Structure 1
Amino acid sequence: MSPAGRPRTFDEELALEAAMLLFWRQGYEATSLAQLREATGLSSASLYGAFGSKEGLFTRAVEHYIAGPGSVTDVITDEALSAREAIARLLHGSIDMQTDPSHPRGCLVALSATVEAHGADHSGVREVVAARRATDRARIAAAITRDVASGELAQDTDVDAVTTMIHGFLLGISTQVCDGVPARQLHSAADTLLGHLDAPRRHMPGPQPA
């Protein structure tokens, strides 16, 4: 129900899809309320009534993205897979998603709200995407930790270092895609990175002998 007690006369999912695509393509700062009204077909009153503010709409659009295209990263939580297999599916799946021509290139979470505009307070917006990045990082660390505990990876594996290596590559895919690096090259780079998880245990990041 709307604040006035009347049922909404628009399809919220369609509105979120339109807003998501606009934020994904342009970023939070560059997207105006006028553009959001045009893309969603909502009046200012309807937009504010449903989402509260531009920031509120962005938050919901990010949630819509995470449940849709962004869900490609959820594979990292599959405990039936080894860390190596889960990370392989995570990276290759992310590359496929981010280079899919049916929607904007790159990753909304990595690109849309990472820079603070001068004189503007959009800390809440940045926190929304930072929280998702933190979740992905924690999930990668958990997968690596499981493999250390099971003996798949060496006991002296530097979990933080390997996590940073994988997560840094994941976040960097967006920049590479936007710069025109072809998918095949990104897949090859991912395989090279994954080779570090296939290497003999003595080559895994960890304490070095004196």
Structure 2
Amino acid sequence: MARPRTFDEDAILDRAMLLFWRKGYEATAMSDLVEELGLGRGSIYAAFGDKHQLFVRALSRYLGRQDTLLTTAFDADGPALAQLRDVLDRLLAADAACGNAGCFSVNSIAELLPRDEDVARLAQRSLRVAEEAFTRQLERAAQDGELSATVTPDAAARLLLTVIQGIQIVRKVDPDPARAAVALDSVFALLSKEPAELMPDPA
């Protein structure tokens, strides 16, 4: 009869996620996981499978949190574009909490695609959730007269998604939050029917 587990599986997944996030998949050895998680190899294999299975579960947990934010953060009250900008700022701030490691999802895509089908499926699903959430919010912006007539909600959503992914890459080289803010200000100025005054480009 198998002994019951004496550890919090969700807490262990969070610790594994942060380790993979900081080091990347290939650079994280099983010995690193044993030390970081405080579990023996046998316990890790029994609970999570091999290193790749643990990585996929950790990435899925990370993406699930992003998906939840994107599908619950918007409501019908208040300016649609301002809400969208706030959500993007929150996503960037959450990733900044892991130092200069960038975005766990973007890092994983860059490291493991196209050869890793499991990571590809997770990434494709998460990008689809984000694009759909952006599109719905931008459709409301268009209905409320906020969105520029020069762009459709679909195209604007794809543009925002691409810019956010690019910002996450650039922040690994230059983590200055002012640069990310200027980039988002520029995009929202293009999307808005009434462009706001842009922040000065940081030196």
What interval of TM-score do these two structures reach, taking the shorter chain for normalisation?
Answer: 0.7 to 0.9
Q: Which residue of 2 aligns with 1:88?
A: 85
Q: Deviations over 1:152-198 (max 9, x none)?
A: 43667322321121111111122111002411221122112211232
Specify the code of the residue in structure 1 equivalent to 2:124: A
- The reply on whether 1:16 has 2:13 as its aligned counterpart is yes
Specify the code of the residue in structure 2 equivalent to 1:78: F
- In structure 2, relative to structure 1, the CA distance for the partners of 1:179 and 1:103 (3 Å cut) is closer
Q: Which residue of 1 aligns with 2:182?
A: 188
Task: Figure out how many residues of one structure are paired with residues of the other and give that number.
Answer: 194
Alpha-carbon distance, 1:91 to partner? 2.4
Q: Which residue of 1 aligns with 2:161?
A: 167
**2 CA distance for matches of 1:67 and 1:36?**
22
**2 CA distance for matches of 1:168 and 1:117?**
17
Q: Which residue of 2 aligns with 1:207?
A: none
**1 CA distance for matches of 2:95 and 2:129?**
19
Specify the code of the residue in structure 2 equivalent to 1:180: D
CA contact (8 A) 1:24 1:108 kept: yes
Give ranges in structure 2 of 5+ residues lacking alignment: 196-203
Alpha-carbon distance, 1:103 to partner? 4.6
RMSD: 2.9
Specify the code of the residue in structure 2 equivalent to 1:177: R
Specify the code of the residue in structure 2 equivalent to 1:123: E
More displaced 10-residue stretch of structure 1: 125-134 or 164-173? 125-134
**1 CA distance for matches of 2:70 and 2:61?**
14
- The reply on whether 1:105 has 2:105 as its aligned counterpart is no
Q: Which residue of 1 aligns with 2:59?
A: 62
Specify the code of the residue in structure 2 equivalent to 1:183: P
Q: Which residue of 1 aligns with 2:199?
A: none
Identity rate of aligned residues, in percent? Answer: 27
Among 123, 139, 163, the residue aligned to 2:117: 123
- In structure 2, relative to structure 1, the CA distance for the partners of 1:184 and 1:150 (3 Å cut) is closer
